[in-house]
Amino acid sequence: EFGDRKAKAEKMFRLMDGFLKNDSISLQKDILDHVEFTVARSRFNFDDFEAYQALAHSVRDRLIERWHDTHLHFKKKDPKRIYFLSLEFLMGRSLTNSVINLGIQDQYADALTQLGFDFEVLAEQEGDAALGNGGLARLAACQMDSLATLDYPAWGYGLRYQYGLFRQIIVDGFQHEQPDFWLNFGNPWEIERVHVSYPVKFYGTIEEEVLNGKKCKIWIPGESVEAVAYDNPIPGYGTRNAINLRLWAAKPSDQYDMESYTTGDYINAIVNRQKAETISNVLYPDDRSYQGKELRLKQQYFFVSASLQDIIRRFKDLHSNFDEFPDKVALQINDTHPSISIAEVMRVLVDEENLDWSKAWGIACSIFSVTIHAVQPEGLEKIPVDLLGSVLPRHLEIIYEINHRLMEELKKSFGQDYDRLSRMSIVEEGAVKSIRMANLSLACCHTVNGVSRVHLETLKTRVFKDFYELWPQKFQCKTNGVTQRRWIVVSNPSLCSIISKWLGTEAWIRNIDLIAGLREYAKDPDLHTEWKNMKRVNKMRLAEYIETLTSVKVSLDAMFDVQIKRIHAYKRQLLNILGIIHRYDCIKNMDESDKRRVVPRVCIIGGKAAPGYEVAKKIIKLCHAVADKVNNDPDVGDLLKVVFIPDYNVSVAELVIPGSDLSQHLSTAGHEASGTGCMKFLMNGCLLLATADGSAVEIAEEIGAANMFLFGAKVDEVPALREKGTTLKGSLQFARVVRMVRDGYFGFKDYFKSLCDTVEDGGDFYLLGYDFARYLEAQAAADRAFVDQVKWTQMSILSTAGSGKFSSDRTIEEYAQQSWGIEPCKCPF
Ligand code: GLS
């Protein structure tokens, strides 16, 4: 019978390969069919958006085909799989990325031209899938692309929020937030799986029972919500593999609340059921501070519980003995957010599968690994015990038991060192007794990853010092990376062609190490000409975008100087703005002959502030206030323009990065775990002006410090500088620019007062005053380099050539080999 099934499956594989044709005529026909039958418009009358929808559906068909093949193949081979749990995935747009990874971009472009449409115009119709805040979430998206491309048997699991990250609109220079109801026009990239659903339980009580002479705990939940799967195929590049990103949506449970119905309270019963959906309604828009909110905890448990039920079901399809679980399953916890999964695995194994505690714990410890993305202890989630006890009473008990055993083990190593024991405890005593989710992860995971070398050092020596002393072997460095498919091939096609032409191959798109081959041509005048043309065309596109959005006209001869990322005190956008004020002040005081020597600049800033983050919001306003003054000053003209790009997101980044000359990464050393924006700029041949923080340190090693502009206090100097506190005076120049803001030179004097206070009067936690003079020197060095365009272009080529290490392909290979123990599983067709 097995042979029969196998033959049938093989026949199906062969048939499926024959299903969809990718020549231009077939694609045209498919698109028109979708216009008529999916979008339900007449094929004689449809607009760009409808054309985009039809196009997306025809691409989706091709994705589904490969995705089926891949999953059949995985099922057949039954390899160990990696399950990547993340509360956030920032996918951005899917169309262009999909057709490129499927290898049918030219055919589609051709088909659309024949139909009288332009591929690029239709691609612009797509909105971003913004189910994440920033770096952490975009990293997860890049890693999914690499997992698919490298043929790893991987699944992503997350939440399908109905509202993604808020849209930022600017009114009079102030940020306002608008809801991002991104599913309004449907989402062609997902497949709703109504039949793949699991109940997720909350609240209730614990009862003890005796089963087979053994005392057992039974959780009697008080609420049940249904998790329904929405699958998002992720195609690899240069392979048939397409893996799955499964996002869960909350729906009312099928279990009826009989009481309400029989008492006739029909309307209220329905209204209450509907409340279930709120769990997956909205993404929390703050990436760093957690306030122990009930909804947040419910979101975490909701997606973790559904994912684990799905994973265990898949395991049980082929296996019956949990001893084999670690051979088939690796679970990756993306930051502390999904760490409740550790308690959930224990609950399932002990309460439902009736395993001994120690056996269950052995399994848990061999399947989980975690990556920490935070530097500051505030970034590590804590859940108040009262809250956890009410929402997940059984999990709280389990965590107490894990902690009890941990403490016993620690006593063996550290004796009566109670300070240390209390620091390492999963339970934090204090005004609000809480569970430290990071400590729970550290107690269980076999691997704890940092996201850059500097970051791992911080974890080892500061954040988790005690744990490192106990388990040094758990700590590993997995320097972040980004996918060159999205950040070069999709977003900078001209650069992509140049690289392929000069390397004589497209193989670098899968094997990024080859990109180093460009070094050989860094001085070649022909390459310089092509490189500069590419940059100019990209700048032109960006300039048009800027003019459309802000009505500011910018000169293409100016240096495009960019800082785009979340607005945060530690990322020091304020340092950038104060630097701009200094530049403005200098130009104002120059005579005409001095002005002729000024390198013209367009200073571009973009980023969202968390809605409740006052300081960040004031920084946005200050940026606009300065722009207003500078851009309208006839003394300045094209020498300086200041632009704030509203609603920064993945698609905006795809447009801005290829058109930038210089990018700024200004975090106070020791505060940026890694930073991934810098890697995207680097790949695009944009020079970096950066502090020696996060991954910038490793970038300097790869391209040579002489090819970037490094400045500022070093990680190990920062604590001592802070100690000096009030005695540490910034430069005169710094005092002057801050005074200009204080005195109302840019208006809004009262409003900016508290912002100025953060960097003066003994405050200045992020050392803006201390770093200011050296920041200006680095900026001056960038100006001098820009004047020598041959030198600049060479540095730019060397940046791209040295970016190979920062591909997420390298990161994923390291995870696969060092943390997860998985092998590629390539679809044969
Ligand atoms: C972050 C860090 O702040 C970034 O430095 C890092 O690059 C990113 C991915 O590892 O993770 N942590 C976080 O909470 N948001 C981030 O962007």
User: Among 51-65, 211-225, 482-496, 617-631, which is the least confidently predicted range?
Assistant: 211-225
Would you state the pLDDT for residue 257?
60
| Residues forming beta bridges with residue 226, ordered by sequence position | 199, 251
Q: How far apart are CA 608 and CA 336, in angstroms?
A: 23
Q: Is 670 close to ligand 1, i.e. is its CB under 6 Å away?
A: no
Question: Mean pLDDT, the chain, as a whole number?
Answer: 95
Tell whether ligand 1 has an atom less than 6 A from the beta carbon of residue 175. no
What pLDDT was estimated at residue 726?
Answer: 58
Separation of CA 193 from chain center: 25
Q: Which two tokens stand for residue 54?
A: 């039809």
Residues involved in catalysis: 373, 565-566, 571, 676, 680
Burial 802-816 (b: 16+ CB within 10 A, else e): bbbbbbbbbbbbbbb
How far is Cα 476 from Cα 457, in angstroms, rounded to an integer? 10
* Ligand 1 centre distance from Cα of residue 479 (Å): 12
Centre of ligand 1 to C-alpha 374, Å, is: 6
Regarding the beta carbon of 675 and ligand 1, being less than 6 Å apart is answered yes
**At which residue do the structure tokens 């973009």 appear?**
606
Q: Work out the burial of residue 735: count CB atoms within 10 Å of its CB; fewer than 13 is exposed, 13-18 middle, 19 or more buried.
A: middle
Task: Show Cβ contacts of residue 548 under 8 Å, excluding neighbours closer than 6 positions.
Answer: none
Residue ranges of alpha helices (H) inside 116-229 are 119-123, 135-149
Whether pLDDT at 260 is above 70: no
pLDDT of residue 286: 87
The confidence band for 583, taking pLDDT boundaries of 50, 70 and 90, is: very high
The pLDDT value given to residue 258: 60
Alpha helix ranges (H) inside 234-293: 258-262, 266-275
Provide mean pLDDT across the span 98-124.
98
Does residue 674 register a pLDDT over 70? yes
674 within ligand 1 shell (Cβ under 6 A): yes
Q: Is residue 385 predicted with pLDDT exceeding 70?
A: yes
- Please say if the pLDDT value at position 1 is more than 60: no
Question: 696: Cβ below 6 Å to ligand 1?
Answer: no
How much distance in Å is there from the Cα of 411 to the middle of ligand 1?
A: 34
Query: 134 in ligand 1 pocket by Cβ < 6 Å?
Result: yes
Q: Cβ(86) to ligand 1 under 6 A?
A: no
The CB of 798 under 6 Å from ligand 1? The reply is no
Q: Which of 143, 164, 167, 163 is CA-nearest to residue 155?
A: 143
CB 728, CB 769: distance < 8 Å = yes
Atom index in ligand 1 nearest the CA of residue 139 equals: 9
Q: Which pLDDT belongs to residue 540? A: 98
In angstroms, rounded to a whole number, what is the distance separating the alpha carbons of residues 65 and 525? 46
**pLDDT for position 8:** 81
CA of residue 480 to ligand 1 center, whole Å = 10
* Domains in the chain, CATH or no CATH each: 78-93+128-479+814-820 (3.40.50.2000), 493-806 (3.40.50.2000)
291, burial (CB in 10 Å: exposed 0-12, middle 13-18, buried 19+): exposed
Mean pLDDT of 749-777: 94
- Which residue from 142, 334, 371, 451 has its CB within 8 A of the most atoms of ligand 1, so it is best to mutate? 451
Distance (Å, rounded) from C-alpha 829 to C-alpha 811? 27
Q: Atom 11 in ligand 1: which residue has the minimum CA distance?
A: 136
Alpha carbon distance 612, 139 (integer Å): 25
256 pLDDT tier (thresholds 50, 70, 90): low
Contact 218, 209 (CB under 8 A): yes
- Is the C-beta atom of 136 inside 6 A of ligand 1? yes
The rounded Å distance from CA 576 to ligand 1 centre is 20
773: pLDDT strictly greater than 60: yes
Residue 599: other Cβ atoms inside 10 A? 19
- The confidence band for 376, taking pLDDT boundaries of 50, 70 and 90, is confident
Query: What CA–CA distance (Å, rounded) separates 788 from 672?
Result: 32
Residue 529 to residues 30, 141, 501, Cα–Cα distance (Å): 41, 34, 14
Centre of ligand 1 from the C-alpha of residue 474, in Å:
21
Q: Ligand 1: which of 283, 666, 674, 680 to mutate, most ligand atoms within 8 Å of CB?
A: 674
Q: What are phi and psi of 188, to 5 degrees?
A: -70, -10
What tens digit of pLDDT does each residue of 198-255 get?
A: 999 999 999 998 888 888 899 999 999 999 999 999 999 999 999 999 999 999 987 6
Q: Using the atom order of ligand 1, give the atom closest to the CA of residue 287.
A: 14
Protein residue with its CA nearest to atom 9 in ligand 1: 136
Intra-chain end-to-end CA distance of the chain, in Å? 24
* Measured CA distances, 782 to 525, 561, 661, 670 (Å): 22, 10, 10, 24
Torsion angles phi and psi, residue 440, rounded to 5: -60, -45
Q: Residue 667 CA: which ligand 1 atom is closest?
A: 5
Q: Verify whether ligand 1 is closer than 6 Å to residue 673 (CB atom).
A: yes
Distance in Å, CA 211 to ligand 1 centroid:
47
406 neighbors 414 (Cβ within 8 angstroms): no
- In the numeric block, which tokens belong to residue 758? 């953060």
Q: How far is CA 783 from CA 523, 540, 666, 713, 786, in A?
A: 21, 21, 17, 22, 5
Confidence of residue 7 (pLDDT cuts 50, 70, 90): confident
Res 686: pLDDT: 98
Sequence letter at residue 326: P
Please tell me the distance between residue 134's alpha carbon and the centre of ligand 1 in angstroms.
Answer: 7
What is the value of ipTM here, to two decimals?
Answer: 0.99
Is the Cβ atom of 676 under 6 angstroms away from ligand 1? yes
Residue 127 burial by Cβ neighbours in a 10 Å radius (0-12, 13-18, 19+): middle
C-alpha 797 to ligand 1 mean position (Å): 27
Q: Give the model's pLDDT for residue 255.
A: 66
Distance of CA 372 from the midpoint of ligand 1 (Å): 9
pLDDT surpasses 80 at 725: no
Report the percent of the chain where pLDDT is more than 70: 97
Per-residue burial over 472-492, b if 16 or more Cβ lie within 10 Å, else e, is eebbbbbbbbbbbbbbbbbbb
Does residue 718 carry a pLDDT above 60? yes
Task: Assess whether the C-beta atom of 797 lies below 6 angstroms from ligand 1.
Answer: no
Please choose, from the candidates 442, 505, 498, the residue with its C-alpha nearest in 3D space to the C-alpha of residue 475: 442
- Cβ–Cβ < 8 Å for 642, 627: yes
pLDDT in tens, 609-640: 999 999 999 999 999 999 999 999 999 999 99
Q: Lowest mean pLDDT of 284-288, 289-293, 572-576, name the range.
A: 289-293
Number of H helices and E strands in the chain, helices first, is 34, 24
Name, in order, each residue with C-beta under 8 angstroms of 634's C-beta and a sequence gap of 6 or more.
Answer: none
Coil vs helix vs strand at 461: helix
Nearest-atom number in ligand 1 for the CA of 694 is: 5
Closest to 53 (Cα-Cα) out of 68, 75, 38: 38
Of 642, 580, 636, 559, whose CA–CA distance to 606 is shortest?
A: 642
Rounded Cα distance between 538 and 255, Å, is 56
Write down the residue that tokens 């262009």 correspond to. Answer: 96
Q: Among 319-328, 529-538, 703-712, 719-728, which stretch is predicted with the lowest mean pLDDT? A: 719-728
Name the residue at shortest CA distance from atom 12 of ligand 1.
373
Which pLDDT band, with edges at 50, 70 and 90, does 382 fall under?
very high
β-pair partners for 225: 200, 252
Q: Is 373 in the pocket of ligand 1 (CB under 6 A)?
A: yes
Return the best residue to mutate from 283, 288, 373 for the ligand 1 pocket (most ligand atoms within 8 A of CB).
Answer: 373
Strand (E) or helix (H) holding 179: strand 174-181
CA separation, residue 717 to residues 127, 312, 465, 724, 770 (Å): 44, 49, 19, 11, 11
Average of pLDDT values for 532-542?
98
**Mean of pLDDT values over 548-574:** 98
Q: Tell me what percent of the chain is helix, strand and coil, each rounded to the nearest 5.
A: 55, 15, 30
- What's the token pair of residue 442? 């550290």
Q: Which residues pair with 227 in a beta bridge?
A: 198, 250
607 CB under 6 A from ligand 1? Answer: no
Average pLDDT over residues 784-801: 98
Distances (CA, A) of 318 to 75, 77, 229, 241, 312: 9, 11, 21, 22, 10
- Nearest atom of ligand 1 to the alpha carbon of 451: 10
Whether ligand 1 lies within 6 angstroms of the CB of 768 is answered as no
- Nearest CA among 230, 242, 232, 87 for reference residue 151: 242
Q: Give SS3 for 251.
A: strand
d(CA 132, CA 126): 17
Tokens of 640: 């300086």
| Residue 72 neighbours by CB under 8 Å, 6+ apart | 9, 12, 13
